[in-house]
Amino acid sequence: MTGPMCVTCGTEFPDAAAPEICPICADERQYVPAGGQAWTSRAALARSHRNGFHEEEPGLIGIATEPVFAIGQRALLVMTPHGNLLWDCLSLLDAATVRIIDGLGGLAGIAISHPHYYSAMAAWSAAFGGVPVWLHGADREWVMHGGDAVRFWSGDTKELLPGVTAIRAGGHFAGGTVLHWAAGAEGRGALLTGDILQVAPDLRSVSFLRSYPNMIPLSASVVRRICRRIEPFAFDGIHGAFRGRTITRGAKAAVTRSAARYIDAIEGRGPADAEE
């Protein structure tokens, strides 16, 4: 069975009747389109879309819905000797996707960076034997359809598998999470960031926002806190929310430079290009 699914953010709801407005999109970090709320279903989506699989680096497979649906994020399959973890989630789950992931070893669990990517997490968990869906408890109120699989965690870090650690960075959402994969970037470590740290198109920098579609910034103090929370972890690569948004080398230095640039701008110390 598939319930109503918001066309704008891709969140699936459990009831046969859709709410009047998607609560995820009614929040200031997302948006309800000017044309009004629209709904589809996972079953309908499967008739017009498919999931493509792409190797991002050894041991990491990107999964993206084609053509782009809703926000358009990719999920990332982290493959480890202790089982596979799906990072972030997608609205589309079809039989081909399940067969491919089963062929790669299935899932030991799912972890999601923030509520915009909760999507069809209940269906994904059920399709792989009811595996746990790890969400930070600070974002509990945004769970629309999680079922018994959801495992809320607290604090600032949680090791989900050996060498795979969730870090509460905050920022975009109170429970905004990034994933540290120690074996990534040829053993130098990688962060999987969703859009808690958004990889810029130049692939050499990142940025930080409360809302991306509405362009609401974060404060300098919050950006400093994000940096403090990821500082103890070694990483040389970052895999962002969207296909192609990857920093392959020098990622930790890129975060430091990007944060300094952002803080200078938000505190008024950036280039004086505008007329006073």
Please write down the HEC assignment for all residues of the chain.
Answer: CCCEEECCCCCECCCCCCCCCCHHHHCCCCCCCCCCCCEEEHHHHHHHCEEEEEEEECCEEEEEEECCCCCCCEEEEEEECCEEEEECCCCCCCHHHHHHHHHCCCCCEEECCCHHHCCCHHHHHHHCCCCCEEEEHHHHHHCCCCHHHEEEECCCEEEEECCEEEEECCCCCCCCEEEEECCCCCCCCEEEEECCCEECCCCCCEECEEECCCCEECCHHHHHHHHHHHCCCCCCEEEECCCCCEECCCHHHHHHHHHHHHHHHHCCCCCCCCCC
Q: Give the residue extent of every domain in the chain.
A: 4-266
Assigned token pair, 271: 């280039």
- How much of the chain exceeds pLDDT 70, in percent? 97
Between strands 4-6 and 198-199, the pairing is unpaired
Q: What is the pLDDT of residues 91-132, one digit of tens each?
A: 999 999 999 999 999 999 999 999 999 999 999 999 999 999
Paired residues of 150 in beta bridges: 133
| CATH number of the domain located at residue range(s) 4-266 in this protein | 3.60.15.10
**What value does the mean pLDDT of the chain take?**
95
How far apart CA 188 and CA 173 sit, in angstroms, is 28
How far apart CA 51 and CA 61 sit, in angstroms, is 12
Q: What is the pLDDT of residues 125-166, one digit of tens each?
A: 999 999 999 999 999 999 999 889 999 999 999 999 999 999
CB neighbours of residue 22 within 10 Å:
24
Q: What is the pLDDT of residues 252-275, one digit of tens each?
A: 999 999 999 999 999 998 676 555
Query: Is residue 248 classed exposed, middle or buried when 0-12, 13-18 and 19+ CB atoms within 10 A define those classes?
Result: middle
Q: How confident is the model at residue 1 (pLDDT cuts 50, 70, 90)?
A: low
The pTM of the full predicted model, rounded to 2 decimals, is 0.95
Q: What is the pLDDT of residues 170-213, one digit of tens each?
A: 999 999 999 999 999 999 999 999 999 999 999 999 999 999 99
